[in-house]
Every structure is written in C-alpha cells, then in structure tokens.
C-alpha cells in the first residue's frame, strides 16, 4: 500500500504545489516510485509536468489520471496504483471537501508562511484537522514553515500552539524564501538538477524529516 501524503492549506500561494512536486522528485530520484494526484482545479503540477515532457525532460514523477480514478479508495490498491508514495496536491481549502482523501492519508502536510494571517487561518482550521485525525487514527499532521525569513520568530508561536498535540508536529526543517523555487521550472524539471545547494539541502532535509516522522509513528504503533 502506498504512503499517501496530502499537501493542504486553506491559504493559497503558500507553496503546496511546489513542495508536493519537489518532495516527489526527491524520493523518486532516490529510487521510490512516486506519483502526484493533482486535485487542484488550477492543475499547476499537471501543467508543469506536461511542459517538462514537451521539452523532452525525463520526469521521474508520474501523474495519476484523475479521470480514470473511480474512487479514492482505489489509490490503496497496488495493482491499480503501484506506487511507493502518492502526493495529493489540493486546492486552497482545508475543509470537509477533502475528507475522503484525508481518510486514506498517512499525513496532511501543511506548508505555511511565517505570517500572523497564516497563523490565524491555521488556528481556524485546527478543529477541522483534529476531526480528520479522529476519524483516521493513522493520520499525522505536519506543519512546515515555507518562505521563511531569518528575522521571524513565528515558528515559536506555531510550536507553542501545538506543543500538547501528539499527532500534529511543527517540523524542524524550514524552507527559505528563495528565487530558485520560482525559476527552476524554466530551466529543468527538478530542483535537484539545479546548482542551488541551499535549496536542495533544505528540501532533502524536509523529505528526510517527513520520512522519519512517518516511520517513527509506524514503529510506535507496532510496539
């Protein structure tokens, strides 16, 4: 059964599509078979992958054809979808609209900008996230600060807000505000094919932290 990681936030433009696709590239370039289910009507990842393929790039991430997916449950059928990891990119909502996919997910990954508006918006979604985790006892939530600027201390506010939660984790890795994220698709299909060591290092760190968070939780459940 694949790991299903749904990238979500009620806010638009926080980096959901960027992070979903970059993580899928990271794991797939290291031998995992990864696919993206693009549930956003804007189709950012689908369009980007199509453009990469049109210019002859060898994209290592597969796209799941939404029109052939009868039920989300099918995603867990390895005969139909033989992937190690499926990333679901979602529209800017964090509501019951995505319940069916949260119910199958191993993780909701929430990218968030270090701003008070984004903090308030996440707090409004908090009960909803908890309801999703109550329905699905295997579901973890991970919050990643994106477009971080060094002077911000908002990560401490996030940590404090969630310190009593077992299954909601504010990840240690932060992604910095970097021009490379906006321009690499013009150059290459993968961030990891660029020369930007800072961006590659932080995305790799994020991928590893997510992997260990999921693995640790799985081991804890077994014991």
Ligand X SMILES: Nc1ncnc2c1ncn2[C@@H]1O[C@H](COP(=O)(O)OP(=O)(O)OP(=O)(O)O)[C@@H](O)[C@H]1O
Q: Which is nearer to ligand X, 210 or 217 (CB)?
A: 210
Select from 63-71, 149-157, 162-170, 177-185 the region that touches ligand X (CB under 6 A).
177-185
- Taking residue 16's Cβ as centre, other Cβ atoms within 10 Å add up to 27
Residue 23's binding partner out of ligand X, Mg ion, none, with CB under 5 to 8 Å set by partner kind: none
DSSP 193: G
Residue 16 as a binder of ligand X (CB under 6 A): the answer is yes
Q: In the chain, where does DSSP find H-type helix?
A: 16-29, 44-54, 99-102, 116-135, 154-162, 179-187, 197-222
Asked if residues 94 and 9 have their Cβ atoms less than 8 Å apart, the reply is yes
| Phi, psi of 3, rounded to the nearest 5 degrees | -75, 135
- Taking residue 97's Cβ as centre, other Cβ atoms within 10 Å add up to 12
Task: Count residues near Mg ion (CB under 5 A).
Answer: 3
Nearest to 165 by CA among 204, 206, 123: 123
Residue 88 as a binder of ligand X (CB under 6 A): the answer is no
Given candidates 2, 9, 11, 17, which one binds Mg ion under the rule CB under 5 A? 17
Q: What per-residue string of b and e applies to 55-73 under the rule 16 or more CB within 10 Å gives b?
A: eeeebbbbbbeeeeeeebe
Residue 182 as a binder of ligand X (CB under 6 A): the answer is yes
Residue 182's binding partner out of ligand X, Mg ion, none, with CB under 5 to 8 Å set by partner kind: ligand X
Residue 213's binding partner out of ligand X, Mg ion, none, with CB under 5 to 8 Å set by partner kind: none
Residue 16 as a binder of Mg ion (CB under 5 A): the answer is yes
Residues near ligand X, by CB under 6 A: 12-18, 40, 42, 44, 92, 146-147, 175, 177-178, 181-182
Residues near Mg ion, by CB under 5 A: 16-17, 44
């Amino acid at each position: 059964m694949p790991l299903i990681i749904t990238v979500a936030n009620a806010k638009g433009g926080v980096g959901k599509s960027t992070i979903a696709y970059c993580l899928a590239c990271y794991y797939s370039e290291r031998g995992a078979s990864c696919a993206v289910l693009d549930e956003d009507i804007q189709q950012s990842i689908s369009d980007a992958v199509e453009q990469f393929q049109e210019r002859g790039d060898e994209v290592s991430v597969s796209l799941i054809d939404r029109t052939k997916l009868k039920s989300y449950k099918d995603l867990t059928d390895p005969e139909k979808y033989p992937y190690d990891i499926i990333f679901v990119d979602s529209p800017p909502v964090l509501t019951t609209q995505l319940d069916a996919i949260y119910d199958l997910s191993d993780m909701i990954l929430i990218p968030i900008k270090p701003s008070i508006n984004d903090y308030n918006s996440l707090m409004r979604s908090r009960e909803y996230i908890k309801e999703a985790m109550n329905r699905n006892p295997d579901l973890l939530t991970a919050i990643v600060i994106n477009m971080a600027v060094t002077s911000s201390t908002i990560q401490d506010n996030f940590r404090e807000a969630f310190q009593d939660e077992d299954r909601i984790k504010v990840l240690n890795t932060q992604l910095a505000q970097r021009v490379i994220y906006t321009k690499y698709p013009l150059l290459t299909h993968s961030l990891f094919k660029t020369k930007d060591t800072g961006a590659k290092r932080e995305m790799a760190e994020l991928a590893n932290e997510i992997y260990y968070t999921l693995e640790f939780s799985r081991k804890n459940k077994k014991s």
